[in-house]
Amino acid sequence: MKGSRGDGWVTRFGLIMAMAGNAVGLGNFLRFPGKAAPYGGAFMIPYFLALLLVGIPLMWVEWTIGRHGGGFGHGTTPGMFHRLWKHPISKYLGVFGVLIPAMVGVYYVYIESWSLGYAWLTATGQYWGRTSNDAMKDVFTTYLGIGGEGPVSFPLQAYTFFLITFVINITIFALGISKGIEVVAKYCMPTLVVLGVVLMVRVLTLPPMDGRTIGDGLAQIWSVRDWSVLLKPDIWLAASGQIFFTLSVGLGMIHTYASYLRKHEDVVLSGLTACATNELVEVVIGASIAIPAAVLFFGVAQAQQIAEGGTFSIGFFALPVIFQQMPGGQFFGTIWFLLLFLAGLTSSMAMFTPLLVFLEDELQLPRRKGVALVAVMVFAMMQPVILFMKHGLVDELDYWMGEACLVLFVAIESMVFAWIFGMKQGWEEMHQGADIRLPKIFYYIIQWVTSTFVLLIVVWWLGGSFKDKLMMAGVPPESRPFLWLARIMMVGMLIFLLAGIHRAWKTHPKFFETVEKEPIEP
């Protein structure tokens, strides 16, 4: 299955596991419960509608764009967009597909390392005896070093696990697609599912507590108790945002993965299979662990309150309290955090791949030099995230990269594909070598519903939180310099990539005007 650039997927199973692993991440087990719990079962209605009308169509679009661009020797979106739209600006619009995953990876790897650290803390019982949410919050802030005085925090234990996690990610990333990402995905994804099933069975077999059963917890996800919340725009935005995150659309990694496919290799069924695997992990396994356990132990009202406390409240505060109160809790708690670590790893190991492939394909940098440059760059940018975390650098990076630019990029690519490249040509490209043919209704969904829906979200965002975030409304004066540092990091990376695109098109323009290449057979 190797494409025209040599490296590539050895097996279809490996491709699907890597694509599913790219989607399966911390958001499946931490972000999803936090978004769903406040709304109850009503959340699942806009969730599934967004999945059907936006998420899955966008996933097919990205697989198609990636395979199409890969046929011309482009592994990242600047070159891919250039092939979709012969306009000078198109390649610069594609910069987001390299910028976003790299900058998200800068803080995602650190968050991922918390899971590995907590697996160790749980296995060794270091927080045992802290049996309240407030007590576990103190454990969390102490672990991250954000509870003390002074502008800088250097948590030695957390930093140690960060270094371990960083080395693991860079090692896999340096080995490439076939020898690194595919091998790890083929083992990590099945292991992750097994661990998830073990935890799910344990939670579903917990005995009643204070008149509550595990069924009450499941009802919090699957039973609609208040239909009126569907009239609130927040629930629709939250559900749509979760779909973007859970499928990893708009992050550029699907494009790079798909670029290694040959022209007549299926993207329709393969993409749908990867999507179904992600939804199995999130909706079946993920929804059966955190929220049901929290409702059983704390009740509906307190579980909702905990979830509203932030993304990490259920996973790092509430569940450790629960594990301490159940038989075999230390064992199951360790499994929980190892599950989170593997989920994070299957996503993060590819976040810097678009940047490396951009350096290799477009700037023609030797692989070894590219790996070294990427490793040094991202490691340097990770240091402010760790040292100044208490000042909100993670939140600032996540808002602009993981929310604003992500939605903006999705809007751009959906319009370029459906309205400029053309839906007729795009539909034919999508079905090249397809094992199944999609119902014609999806032709019109992709052309009008998906692109219009995402465009409306962008307009909504511009008229909503954009101005306050841009002007740092409500941010304490002492934290503003650190948020400016985060913005400088993002702008610096953007300038570096834009300069790279400009240089690539000036130094070897013939490469970008060649006809589609015949793939190299493995």
Residue 514: what pLDDT? 58
The phi, psi pair for 212, rounded to 5°, reads -100, 145
pLDDT at 232: 84
Reported pTM: 0.93
Distant-in-sequence, close-in-space partners of 422: CB < 8 Å, separation ≥ 6: none
pLDDT tens-digit map of 20-36? 999 899 889 988 988 88
Q: What is the pLDDT of residues 241-279, one digit of tens each?
A: 899 989 999 999 999 999 999 989 999 999 999 999 999
pLDDT at 517 (0 to 100): 54
Q: Looking at 59-63, 169-173, 225-229, 490-494, which range is the least confident one? A: 225-229
pLDDT at 444: 97
pLDDT at 507 (0 to 100): 86
Between CA 390 and CA 211 the distance in angstroms is 40
Helix (H, G, I), strand (E, B) or coil at 87: coil
DSSP assignments along 92-150, one per residue: HHTTHHHHHHHHHHHHHHHHHHHHHHHHHHHHTTTTTT--SHHHHHHHHHHHHT-SSSS
pLDDT higher than 60, residue 322: yes
pLDDT at site 515: 57
Collect all residues with Cβ–Cβ distance below 8 Å to 149 and sequence separation of at least 6.
none
The two three-digit tokens of residue 514, written as one number: 């060649």
- DSSP 3-state assignment of 227? helix
Take residue 377 and report the two structure tokens written for it: 């760059």
How far CA 153 is from CA of 150, 157, 383, 391, in Å, comes to: 8, 12, 11, 10
- What local confidence, expressed as pLDDT, does residue 65 receive? 98
Q: Is the pLDDT of residue 56 over 60?
A: yes
- The secondary structure of 32-68, three-state, reads HHHHHCCCHHHHHHHHHHHHHHHHHHHHHHHHHHHHH
Question: Which residues lie below 8 Å from residue 147, measured CB to CB, with a gap of 6+?
Answer: 138, 141
Is CATH 1.10.150.120 the right assignment for the domain spanning 12-513?
no
Task: Return the residue matching tokens 């190991």.
Answer: 349
Q: Where are the domains of the chain?
A: 12-513
Can you give the pLDDT at residue 307?
82
Tell me how far the alpha carbon of residue 199 is from its chain's centroid. 22
Alpha helices in 314-366 (DSSP H): 319-323, 329-348, 353-361
Instruction: Give the span between the Cα atoms of 425 and 295, in whole angstroms.
Output: 50
Per residue in 439-467, pLDDT (tens digit) is: 999 999 999 999 998 888 888 878 777 88
